[in-house]
């Protein structure tokens, strides 16, 4: 006997539902979505936003099931109650109170849901999903347990219960499901910060704040998240708050001053430098409006007042420019682009002798110095040339090892004289003042490394290994150490390139579910994706460079440049090809008849 009919013997059920998904559009030309807001911003988090109730949709069964997948999008302590409201009374016991905490399983629908009409007017719904992760009460989206498959199917029934109004979920899934759409619609992305273990950089940690949280409680909830500690993937590279630290009460919204009271037995907080770092951490995490003040009280001590401007400079990401400096490689030399900040100025660091036979490059400024790393073509292959302009002058060192192919170098901030590069399918570190490139181990992951992107804090990276996307934290001792990478679930396959366009946002090139090459912006956990370019056809994206948005500025997504089928484009002006006439210091007439005279490998000073 069909299992849904057996359910009906226990409780008379009538009516049925049909769950339908969106059709797959056909794309025939390049679709440019432009920059737009970052994924997930800012539809949630403005206070008192809650998902629909069970009775809000009585006729459209597709909408009803969508509402069910949004039901848990409330404060954690109310999630079980909200989901139970959608479940038939005889099945509510299957939705148990969690122990020790509420965990929501965030899923992405992979295809149109399959609907099978059973007997007695009940329909069985099969959801083929990608399991993105588990949303914890502290707002962290953690990976699924190792034993859980990334792709799976959930089945349940939908029908009506005699004597009750509206539709119900029958034989519900064994977990609390939350759809990707619900995460985007009913949560705000918020960033909290932890100091790295050397206390040189604030490392961002993405959290999701339910829109159901009233405005007056949001800062208190974020403080509780901060006290709960960092997400698992960065935990080994950052410092949690001192053991025993507790909130001393609500964080009031006074309009011009952030007031935080903490209870802590830690003797370290008696150190003024530690208090100053804690103040910066709190200001950046709870109220990054630096024209206001922070009043910090540690129980048993006198309050300390900090001006926002004092705390602003303690996160290096606040120096990111609205208009970055742009460069490209043209006929073996690095040139500035006319769209660059400081247009018309000389190329930094490089001398004419060094700026020869360049394949790709990366520049950075840190601590008053400017550094450059170049992949240079020689007779025996490519070598990495690394140097800097410091108070002691300009000097360069060439790697003793040669490679068949070197990717775009990326520099690590804090302190900034170390970088990473992909060469011949492996990841290496390099350092100013040395001709040595050191191979790096990727714990627990094997495969060909195709791309690396460096976060603005210098303690996190994104990687493409084979055709999959990962993020990893870095240990920054005497040598760079890559901590175990975390797989990023995404709708893209055959991924080729990755970089960062905000503190918690990646730009990724790969193949979308329609089988077309696309470029997506996505959160570091893969939960929320927004297409920047929906359809590049079958183009091969061989190069991608991002420039992160300043977390204090009005922008949420930084600039991006890429190369597809050998042609460079600048997404700062959506899908605008970088043309020869934009390359400074070149006479276009001199190379007008040379088909090989095209810009390549565009990059930012970062």
pLDDT tens-digit profile of 213-260? 998 899 999 999 999 999 999 999 999 998 889 999 999 877 788 999
Mean pLDDT (whole number) for 539-543:
95
What the block records as the tokens of 470 is: 């990962």
Distance CA 307, CA 298 (A): 17
Quote the pLDDT of residue 35. Answer: 42
Quote the pLDDT of residue 220. Answer: 95
Per-residue pLDDT band for 150 (boundaries 50, 70, 90) equals very high
Per-residue pLDDT band for 264 (boundaries 50, 70, 90) equals confident
Mean pLDDT (whole number) for 437-453:
97
Q: What is the dihedral of CA 150, 19, 141, 470, to 10 degrees?
A: 40
Asked if the model's pLDDT at residue 8 lies above 70, the reply is: no
- Listed residue (36, 68, 39, 73) closest to 54, CA to CA: 68
Quote the pLDDT of residue 444. Answer: 96
Task: Tell me what the pLDDT averaged over the chain comes to.
Answer: 88
Q: What is the dihedral of CA 303, 309, 315, 320, to 10 degrees?
A: 170
Whether 479 contacts 498, CB under 8 Å: no
Quote the pLDDT of residue 112. Answer: 83
Mean pLDDT (whole number) for 79-91:
95
Quote the pLDDT of residue 21. Answer: 34
Mean pLDDT (whole number) for 273-292:
89
Per-residue pLDDT band for 595 (boundaries 50, 70, 90) equals low
More confident residue, 430 or 120: 430
Mean pLDDT (whole number) for 317-334:
94
- pTM (2 decimals)? 0.91
> 177-192, pLDDT tens digit by residue?
999 999 999 999 999 9
Per-residue pLDDT band for 571 (boundaries 50, 70, 90) equals confident
Distance CA 301, CA 272 (A): 12
Mean pLDDT (whole number) for 326-337:
96
Asked if the model's pLDDT at residue 31 lies above 60, the reply is: no
- Listed residue (324, 399, 388) closest to 350, CA to CA: 388
Asked if the model's pLDDT at residue 518 lies above 90, the reply is: yes
- Listed residue (228, 286, 301) closest to 253, CA to CA: 286
Q: What phi, psi does 288 have (nearest 5°)?
A: -75, 60
Quote the pLDDT of residue 287. Answer: 80
Quote the pLDDT of residue 402. Answer: 97
CA distances from 293 to 136, 224, 252, 311, 506 (A): 31, 21, 13, 9, 32
Per-residue pLDDT band for 557 (boundaries 50, 70, 90) equals confident
Asked if the model's pLDDT at residue 429 lies above 70, the reply is: yes
Per-residue pLDDT band for 573 (boundaries 50, 70, 90) equals low
**Mapping DSSP to helix (H, G, I), strand (E, B) and coil, where does residue 273 land?**
helix
More confident residue, 464 or 242: 464
Quote the pLDDT of residue 17. Answer: 31
């Amino acid at each position: 006997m069909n299992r849904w009919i057996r359910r009906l013997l226990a409780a008379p059920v009538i009516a049925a539902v049909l769950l339908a998904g969106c059709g797959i559009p056909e794309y025939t030309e390049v679709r440019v979505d432009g920059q737009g807001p970052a994924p997930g911003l800012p539809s949630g988090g403005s206070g008192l936003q809650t998902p629909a109730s069970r009775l809000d949709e009585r006729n459209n069964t597709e909408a009803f099931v969508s509402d069910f997948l949004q039901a848990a999008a409330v404060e954690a302590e109310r999630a079980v109650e909200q989901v139970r409201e959608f479940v038939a009374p005889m099945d509510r016991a299957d939705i148990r109170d969690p122990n020790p905490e509420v965990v929501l399983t965030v899923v992405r629908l992979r295809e149109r849901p399959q609907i099978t009409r059973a007997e007695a007017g009940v329909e069985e719904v099969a959801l083929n999903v990608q399991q993105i992760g588990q949303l914890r009460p502290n707002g962290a989206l953690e990976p699924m347990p190792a034993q859980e498959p990334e792709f799976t199917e959930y089945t349940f029934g939908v029908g009506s219960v005699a004597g009750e109004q509206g539709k119900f979920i029958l034989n519900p899934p064994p977990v609390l499901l939350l759809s990707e759409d619900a995460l985007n619609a009913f949560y705000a992305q918020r960033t909290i910060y932890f100091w790295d273990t050397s206390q040189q950089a604030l490392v961002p940690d993405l959290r999701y704040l339910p829109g159901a949280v009233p405005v007056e409680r949001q800062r208190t909830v974020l403080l509780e998240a901060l006290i709960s500690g960092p997400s698992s993937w960065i935990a080994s590279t950052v410092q949690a708050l001192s053991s025993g630290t507790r909130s001393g009460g609500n964080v009031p919204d006074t309009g011009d001053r952030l007031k935080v009271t903490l209870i802590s037995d830690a003797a370290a907080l008696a150190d003024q430098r530690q208090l100053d770092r804690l103040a910066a951490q709190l200001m950046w995490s709870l109220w990054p409006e630096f024209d206001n003040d922070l009043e910090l009280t540690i129980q048993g001590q006198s309050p300390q007042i900090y001006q926002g401007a004092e705390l602003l400079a303690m996160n290096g990401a606040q120096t990111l420019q609205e208009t970055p400096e742009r460069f490209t490689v043209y006929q073996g030399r690095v040139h500035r682009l006319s769209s660059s900040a400081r247009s018309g100025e000389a190329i930094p660091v490089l001398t004419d002798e060094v700026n020869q036979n360049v394949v790709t490059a990366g520049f950075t400024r840190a601590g008053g110095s400017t550094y450059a790393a170049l992949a240079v073509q020689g007779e025996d292959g490519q070598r990495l040339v690394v140097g800097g302009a410091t108070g002691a002058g300009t000097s360069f060192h060439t790697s003793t090892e040669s490679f068949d192919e070197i990717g775009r170098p990326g520099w690590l901030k804090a302190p900034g004289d170390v970088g990473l590069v992909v060469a011949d399918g492996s990841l290496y570190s390099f350092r100013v003042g040395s001709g040595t490139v050191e191979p790096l181990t990727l714990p627990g992951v094997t495969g060909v490394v195709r791309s690396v992107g460096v976060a603005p804090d210098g303690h996190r990276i994104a990687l493409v290994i084979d055709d999959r996307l990962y993020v990893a934290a870095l240990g920054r001792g005497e040598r760079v150490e890559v901590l175990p990478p975390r797989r990023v679930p995404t709708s893209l396959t055959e991924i080729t390139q990755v970089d960062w366009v905000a503190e918690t946002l990646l730009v990724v090139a790969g193949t979308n579910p329609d089988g077309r090459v696309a470029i997506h912006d996505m959160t570091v956990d893969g939960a929320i994706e927004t297409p920047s370019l929906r359809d590049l056809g079958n183009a091969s994206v061989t190069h991608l460079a991002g420039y992160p948005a300043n977390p204090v500025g009005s922008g949420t997504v930084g600039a991006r440049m890429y190369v597809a089928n050998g042609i460079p484009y600048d997404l700062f002006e959506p899908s605008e090809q970088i043309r020869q006439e934009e390359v400074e210091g070149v006479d276009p007439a001199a190379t007008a008849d040379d088909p090989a005279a095209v810009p390549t490998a565009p990059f930012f000073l970062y």
